[in-house]
A and B are shown apart, each in its own frame.
Chain A
Amino acid sequence: MTIHYPHDPGAEAAMIAAIVVSATVGDVLIASAMRTIGDLDHIKAERGLGGAILAVLVNLRFLFGVIFLTISFFSLLYALSRANLSLIAPASASLTFVTNAVAAKFFLHENVDRRRWIAAALVCAGVAFMTA
């Protein structure tokens, strides 16, 4: 059975924005945390698996990142209960690729060259096509 939800562009845009923003903030905080912690392969070699896990779990940026990813997950669940999957899933998944690239450039200072912009755009379009 297909459920048709009432079309409310403003509410749909707000829900998609909530998912995309919280997912991007979460990903950037976690990437930032992992950069600060350093190469986990080296930490594991020095302190063992327990030491590597502990190094991650005591990092505040990591914990904040997990909180934002959790918010994103529950925003997605909420949005799926109010709007069609065929709109929410492709829009949020593909937009997150682009916002992550922008955030990584400005907040993580990653060298996002033309190659990476093109790859982000291709994945964004590809995800939209696959889930549409």
Chain B
Amino acid sequence: MLAILLLEPFSDHYTGGPRLMTKSTMTLRRWFILGIVAVTAPLGDTLLSFGMEEVGPVSIHHLATLFHAFRIPEVLIGIALLIAFFGSYLASLSWADLTFVLPATSIGNVIVALLARFWKHEHISPMRWVGIVLITAAVGFIARGPSYTEMPKPHDAVEAQAQ
């Protein structure tokens, strides 16, 4: 049963035959959803980190202490943001490739770094500026390309083999 689940999943994506075509499926609304993916993940992580600092170290023998975290606003907002991230991430994977979504949404790391610099006045080292430039270049690069690999339907593959 498990072997079937692990081996079978990918067989219906591609049955051979016609060359795979990439196309752009992006609309303004879908870019907005990718923006939500990009921003909510790092912001949610940051808020959780702030909130958990208030809780302090949690011993494995006193896991009930974790429930105190639910009384901290930062933790609750962080969890809400991470739920929003997962929902929009799933939606984006239904109309864009994984290799498009991951680089395109990495701009979130840059947004958080810039917020830290200009909002919290944190120091950003030259190494981090280099990282920001590289990620921004990658996002600009991927955003100009197609977003979705169109898979041939099984009957298309049969027709292609017949020809």
Q: Is the CB of B9 within 8 A of A61?
A: yes
Please name all residues of chain B whose beta carbon is closer than 8 Å to the beta carbon of A28 when the two chains form the complex.
Answer: 98
A interface size (C-beta, 8 A): 46
Interface of A, secondary structure class, is: helix
B21 sits at the interface (CB 8 A): yes
Which residues of the partner chain A approach B14 to less than 8 Å between Cβ atoms?
A: 109
Asked if A123 lies at the interface with its beta carbon under 8 angstroms from chain B, I say yes
B15 — nearest CB in chain A belongs to which residue?
A109
Q: Is the CB of B128 within 8 A of A104?
A: no
Also in contact, A35 and B138, with CB within 8 A (given A27-B98, A101-B99, A112-B99): no
When the two chains form their complex, are residues B9 and A111 in contact, meaning their CB atoms are under 8 A apart? no
In the assembled complex, the Cα of A32 lies from the Cα of B103 at a distance in Å of 18
Known contacts A30-B93, A61-B9, A111-B21; decide if A123 and B103 are in contact (CB<8 Å).
yes
| Residue from A35, A115, A132 in contact with B13 in the complex, judged by beta carbons closer than 8 Å | A35
Interface of B is mostly: helix
A-B contact count (CB 8 A): 138
The answer to the question of A116 belonging to the interface, with a C-beta cut-off of 8 Å to chain B, is yes
A64 engages B5 (CB within 8 Å): yes
Residues in chain A near residue B97, CB distance under 8 A: 31, 104, 108, 110-111
Of the A-B pairs whose beta carbons lie under 8 Å apart in the complex, a sample of 21, sorted by A's number, is A30-B93, A40-B90, A41-B91, A64-B6, A108-B10, A109-B10, A109-B151, A111-B21, A111-B149, A116-B99, A119-B141, A119-B142, A122-B135, A123-B103, A123-B106, A123-B135, A126-B130, A126-B132, A129-B130, A129-B134, A131-B131
